[in-house]
Amino acid sequence: MQIPAFPAVTCGIIVFFVGAFLTRRVPFLRDYNIPEPVAGGLMAALVTWVYFLVSGTQITFDLIVRDQLLVIFFATLGLNARFSDLLAGGRLLGILLALTVIFILIQNAVGFLGTSLFGLPASVSVLVGSASLIGGHGTAIAWGPTITSVSGFAAAEEIGIAAATLGLVAAALIGGPLAKYLIERDKLEASDNDTLIVGLPDEDPGPGEPDIDHIELMRAILAAHVAVLLGYLANQWISDLGLTLPLFVPCMLVAIVMANTIPYLFPTLPWPGGTRALAVVSDYCLSVFLAMSLMSMQLWTLAGLGGPLVGILILQVVAAMVFILFVVYRFTGADYTAAVLSAGFAGFSLGATPTAIANMSSVTKHHGPAPLALIILPLVSAFFVDLVNAMVIQFFAGL
């Protein structure tokens, strides 16, 4: 049974509110920065699993609107970016990129160890390594047939998709607790000069906080839509040059250019960057995207792939946590931004970039803003990771 596009979005909004209810009633979810759409999405995925077990009917969702929300979300991130911040974070971006490359190698080494322990073909290691975890469902699906052909292992594709699913769940659950541990251990605090760029603080606004009116909200939505429209054109031009990038990348880059030119060319024109209205639009797009992503997980596909897969994924989660605590946090500055980046690194190293952003957003709503972390991590995960990952996958798969 497939739920059409519009009802699927409605379900995503309902799932978000379920998650919001849970995070406000369950102290663990609230205190350890578990994002609302994660809590609600996992609950919905469990419900559809139970329904499948009882009725034998699969519930699937038309996710076309979900993917459009992701593009708009990244446009809103770009609208908040300032060249001065990006230049200041250039060194940090380079460090994060280098750490990501190192971890891709570690992730596949752990995958190779796991396949050796459980008697699986060596080439399958990438499907319980970076192809499915850092790469996500798309990369796992793309490499599955190749690995099946090379290894002769018929279940390779299913293992890749299952590993990506379990990795996504783990990524959504460990990022917030890791950041909370680092913030409390080192008594870290956010800068008073920064503002949230995704969502609003958890606490009630103070008397000096401006209200959001409908004009500001519509202005923020219009700016994001213009960035997406120009991003579509830029993406077509990039494709004509023979390059392939996720659509959200050119949309975010166009938005960054807009944010750093329009306010100076037209100083009297109200600009939504840094406003509470744009933060709300960002939060809506990300929350519904993530809620829809998690509620659409088909957990019944994991049945029968249990033992070895779960064992390898536990090794991967432990490796990620150790690497984040002892390497990522230290080399990105061991400050508040580094703690937020640690939550994000957990999100995309085991799951996907939106999970990373959701982890960081949940932390910043609770503890304070870290806008640089929210800008540079998507640049690393979108621009560089796929290229490096493809080369490493080929090496470990023996291609």
Amino acid letter at 398?
G
- The band of 332, judged by pLDDT with boundaries at 50, 70 and 90, is very high
The region of weakest confidence among 87-96, 111-120, 312-321, 333-342 is 87-96
Confidence at 94, pLDDT banded by 50, 70, 90? confident
Check whether 110 has a pLDDT greater than 80.
yes
Residue of higher predicted confidence among 293 and 199: 293
**Alpha-carbon torsion, ordered 197, 228, 13, 220, to 10 deg:** 50
Predicted local confidence at residue 258, as pLDDT: 94
Rounded mean pLDDT of 291-307? Answer: 78
Confidence of residue 18 (pLDDT cuts 50, 70, 90): very high
CA dihedral for 155, 161, 164, 165, sign (positive or negative): negative
Residue 234: its pLDDT value, please?
A: 92
The alpha helices in the chain, defined as continuous H runs, are 5-25, 27-31, 36-55, 64-79, 83-88, 90-117, 136-151, 156-185, 214-240, 248-259, 262-265, 276-295, 306-323, 329-331, 336-350, 353-367, 371-379, 385-397
Chain center to CA of 375: 12
User: What is the model's pLDDT at position 393?
Assistant: 77
Q: Which residue has better confidence, 102 or 138?
A: 102
Q: What is the mean pLDDT of residues 35-64?
A: 91
d(CA 374, CA 341): 8
On the question of pLDDT at 201 being above 70, the answer is no
Closest C-alpha among 139, 200, 198, 201 to residue 168? 139
CB-CB neighbours of 180 under 10 Å: 18
The pLDDT, as a whole number, for residue 87 is 74
Query: 16 or 242: which carries more pLDDT confidence?
Result: 16
Residue 204 has pLDDT above 80, yes or no: no
Average pLDDT over the chain, rounded to an integer: 85
